[in-house]
Structures are given as C-alpha cells and as structure tokens.
Amino acid sequence: MSMRFSGKVVVVTGAGAGIGRATAMAFAAEGLKVVVADLDVSGGEGTVELIRAAGGTSVFVPCNVTLEAQVRQLMAQTISTYGRLDYAFNNAGIEIEHGRLADGTQDEFDAIMGVNVKGVWLCMKYQLPLLLAQGGGAIVNTASVAGLGAAPKMSIYSASKHAVIGLTKSAAIEYAKKGIRVNAVCPAVIDTDMFRRAYEADPKKAEYAAAIHPVGRIGKVEEVASAVLYLCSDDAAFTTGHALAVDGGALAI
C-alpha cells in the first residue's frame, strides 16, 4: 500500500460494477475510505463486501444521481460517516441507444441526459462546497472517446459525453485557484457489462470493437481505474480541465 492517499475519503458513483467497482477497489487498496454509491443495491453492496474482504474500509449509500435529494444525502452521509471528502469519481452513466439520430426517442434522450449529464452536474454541485471547506481536492468525471468525437448510432450518448467534458472544463477553470482540480477520463471500449450487452451477442461486433484499437484489444477496467487514481493523486497536481483518453490509441488514427 502506498501512502499517497493516506487518510483520504473518496466517493465513487456507479460503483456497483465495471469501471466504478474496479476504481473503488483500487482506491481502497491505496488506503482510502471509499463511499460506494449506486442505484443497484446488490451491486453496490457487493463492491463494499469485496473491499472489506480485502481489508479496506467502505460503506454503501444507495443513490439515483438524477435525484437532487439523493445526491445531497449521499454527500451528507459521506461527511457524517467519515468526516471529510477529498476526492470524487463521478462515474454513473448509461447507454441505451443504438440507432440513427432521427430514430431516437424523447424517452431515450431524457434518460441518457438525465444520468450522464444532470447526474454529473448534481454530484459536482454538492461535492464542490465540501471540497472548498476541506481546502481542496480532486474530481474525476467519466466521459468517453465518444465525447471527443463522433459516435454514429449513439448520437445522444455522444452528446451527453461532450457535455460531461464541458462541465469538467468549466468547473476546472472556476475552481483552479481554490485548490480543486477537475478532470475527466475518456475510455474507449472497455470490458464491462455495458460492452457485453452491446457486442457479445454479435461476435463480429466484438471483433470490430477490438480492431478499432491499434493495440489490438479492448481495454480493462483496471486500466481506467489507474488513470482515475493518477488524476486524483499529487502526481497530477498540475493537471486540471483535462479529458484523458484511455483508448488504446483509437483517437490517434
């Protein structure tokens, strides 16, 4: 265990599976106290069990990030449980869209924007005052390579991730002189439940997903977790307002 996060507290949303779970576990392995937040109670409690089984400290708080009262309660419970907040990884997100723009529905738009954009905005809205009171800290938001370019047949999702990057950059500038850094990670295709739903039913799509990355494979959740920990650490003390692609070279083509 390193000492770079000794005594610190982090909130991770969407921590019941995938990138969120891997990152919560990585934070715990570094000695942080981890507040696991997710709409999926079983998944969130499962993450806490894994952290505790490995000797870490964690608590689960159920949270729908689209509901202001629940986000407010998440932050209040973080303070009441651990007395402070140092870092946040706003990772909760959805993708439910696989068609051309004109075929999308208003329900899809509202759902995607609600979780991916409003959820990140609400979390930062209630995290930033706590970090200010603490004297500084760091926030990392989950965007996507789809937020750095186009995503055919996922236009609403792409727009939501562009918005996350906009929120990230704007907050970074607003709080740059207050000791708070705000960055985003932009994963390409990562081996998660979301990936499996989208691709594994069609082996050809899975093969294509691997081929779009020059490294010849899709990413691992642990690789995104490492990027998040870096952005939170003092190693990234001069990095803010940055959208870090974790993409196996996909954007370099």
Active site (catalytic) residues: 157
Burial (0-12, 13-18, 19+ Cβ within 10 Å), 57: middle
How far apart CA 142 and CA 190 sit, in angstroms, is: 13
Rounded to whole angstroms, the Cα distance separating 122 from 106 reads 21
Can you tell me which residue has the tokens 């803010």? Answer: 240
What is the three-class DSSP state of 78? helix
Looking at the chain, the number of H-run helices and the number of E-run strands are: 9, 7
